[in-house]
Structure 1
Amino acid sequence: MKRRTAREKALQALFQIDMSEANPREAILHVLEEELGDEYLTNLVGGVVEHKETIDGMIKEHLEKWTIDRIAPVDRNLLRMAVYELVYLKEEVPANVVIDEAIEIAKIFGDENASRFINGVLSKIKKQTEK
């Protein structure tokens, strides 16, 4: 499975977990739709679930006039996934790749303003993680 596909499936699983408190394993199985599992997909979902409080704290620090609960669920989970990659997988995936992928996925799954919003928040977090 390509990493882009793994990210898209991870976003769908994280959305399910966020909206219906689904079990991460079941959410992954549901989005795979009988496809073979993927280590990167499983890593993304498990990592976001495991580090959700820390990740949400980082996102909250960089929101202006917004609360994390007001962010559209798709955008919120896309941010969580990208922040996980920026912070916990920074040796494996370059920050610019993470941000570019998140922007492209936002264009597919988010509304017309989602990609700019995602870019703005992730760019601030990238600067913070580079210090």
Structure 2
Amino acid sequence: MYLIVIAWAYVTLMMAVAEATSPNGTVLGAIITFGMYGLLPMGILVYILGTPSRKRAIKASEAAEQAAYDEAQRKAEADTAHPADIAQPAGESTLPDAGSEAPAATAVGAAVAVRKEP
């Protein structure tokens, strides 16, 4: 990929030099030639061809962050483990609310059934 970019930069630089040194050319024309024929297409090419490597880098950093988070959670669970929890097999508990779930309740704004008095 970089070989293409270097070669195209050389070609457009030579075009710009020819524009600047020709009797009818100007330095402003050389700058515009280098920018429009060189830098703009090269920037687009590098962006498009660099997309797969950017995606790989993003996935690798996300995987590293997830692994660090998982390790921190394992250490936190190991530090806060109770002896009663360690003696029980995984997934079983004698505590009534071992899952740390909220008790069942009515939803906010839901109608509560009321019984009529006889």
Q: TM-score, normalised by structure 2?
A: 0.29
Higher-Rg member (1/2): 2
Which has the larger helix fraction? Answer: 1
